[in-house]
């Protein structure tokens, strides 16, 4: 059956920043296809609450709270999984933050926070996960990129720099991990309705800009990433590595 290659039964997926927003929507999608999902975030209570929500939907989910930018915390999380004999088959690098300020005034500490939050964290978590995937002889990694991997807007320079680099890191990981059967791809969401964009959605001018600039004429819904996340996490994409799929309502196709 064609649909069988999308099944994730018996696989464990770690979704960083899976406690809410796009991460939670993708985690729910993977869990509905049979995966056990580990929901990450710094706020433990929030991650626990989201895991409970998924379990109430008869899905296999648990919280795994740690800060993806903190080496000791990342190592601690993987050591705890090792101790329980839990292997991460699928890693979705989705955690991230935004900080908006004019580049001329951008504070160095904020710059570092944004770069670390998206880029260094992806290196850190993927390295830990991939070492273990290499031992098992297979793995899937999905890096959450952005429209800002391709284009830029004022006031979010480190975010655009990190997302552009994440596209290249996706390719670098793909070529380096291919001999170990670890496949690495990316998803570039367009303007999606999540907490991260609440201020933009609440701004009538920006809301109108997004609806006009997006050929489909609306903000994306988080659950609209689940199909691509499942495709890239499953055997359905077994000959695909180093690619980024943009799910943007047509933005990048239009001038």
Q: Does 214 bind ligand NDP (CB under 6 A)?
A: no
Rounded distance between C-alpha atoms, residue 82 and residue 100, angstroms: 38
> How many binding residues for ligand NDP (CB under 6 A)?
30
Residue of 57, 135, 195, 215 interacting with ligand NDP (CB under 6 A): 195
159 annotated active-site: yes
Residue 64, helix vs strand vs coil = coil
> Cα(92)–Cα(236) distance, rounded to whole angstroms?
16
Which of 12, 94, 170, 233 is the binder for ligand NDP (CB under 6 A)?
94
Residue nearest to ligand NDP (CB): 21
Q: Identify which of 64, 81, 88, 71 has the alpha carbon closest to the alpha carbon of residue 16.
A: 64
Residue 97 engages ligand NDP in binding (rule: CB under 6 A)? yes
Q: Which two tokens stand for residue 148?
A: 């800002």
Contact flags string 162-191 toward ligand NDP, x per CB under 6 A: ---------------------------x-x
Work out whether 233 is an interface residue with ligand NDP (CB under 6 A). no
Start-to-end C-alpha separation, the chain: 40
Which residues, 6+ apart, have CB-to-CB distance to 179 below 8 Å? none
Among residues 66, 78, 159, 246, which one is catalytic? 159
Residue 69 contacts ligand NDP per CB under 6 A = yes
- How far is the C-alpha of 207 from the C-alpha of 223, rounded, in Å? 20
What does the per-residue mask of binding to ligand NDP show for 10-49, with x meaning CB under 6 A?
Answer: ------xx-xxxxx----------------xxxx--x---
Q: Could you write out the DSSP letters of every residue in 90-146?
A: EEEE---------GGG--HHHHHHHHIIIIIHHHHHHHHHHHHHHHHT-EEEEEE--
- Kindly state whether residue 143 participates in binding ligand NDP, applying the rule CB under 6 A: no
Q: Which residues are catalytic?
A: 159
Q: List interacting residues with ligand NDP (CB under 6 A).
A: 16-17, 19-23, 40-43, 46, 67-69, 94-97, 117-118, 144, 146, 189, 191-192, 194-197
């Amino acid at each position: 059956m064609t649909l069988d290659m999308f099944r994730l039964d018996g696989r464990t997926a770690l979704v960083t920043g899976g406690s809410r927003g796009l991460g939670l929507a993708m985690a729910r999608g993977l869990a509905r296809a049979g995966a056990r999902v580990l929901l990450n975030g710094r706020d433990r209570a929030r991650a626990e609450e989201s895991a409970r929500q998924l379990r109430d939907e008869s899905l296999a989910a648990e919280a795994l709270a740690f800060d993806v930018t903190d080496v000791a915390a990342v190592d601690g999380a993987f050591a705890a999984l090792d101790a329980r004999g839990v292997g991460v088959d699928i890693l979705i690098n989705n955690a991230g933050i935004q900080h908006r300020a004019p580049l001329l005034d951008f504070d160095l500490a904020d710059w570092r926070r944004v770069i670390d939050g998206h880029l260094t964290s992806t290196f850190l978590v993927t390295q830990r996960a991939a070492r273990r995937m290499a031992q098992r002889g297979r793995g899937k990694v999905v890096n959450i990129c952005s429209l800002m991997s391709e284009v830029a807007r004022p006031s979010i320079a480190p975010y655009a720099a990190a997302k552009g680099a994440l596209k290249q890191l996706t390719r670098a990981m793909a070529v380096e991990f291919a001999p170990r059967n670890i496949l690495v791809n990316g998803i570039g969401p367009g303007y999606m309705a999540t907490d991260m964009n609440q201020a933009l959605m609440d701004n009538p001018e920006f809301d109108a800009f997004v609806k006009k600039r997006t050929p489909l004429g609306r903000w994306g819904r988080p659950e609209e990433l689940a199909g691509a996340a499942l495709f890239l996490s499953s055997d359905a994409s077994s000959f695909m590595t180093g690619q980024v799929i943009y799910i943007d309502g047509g933005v990048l196709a239009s001038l």
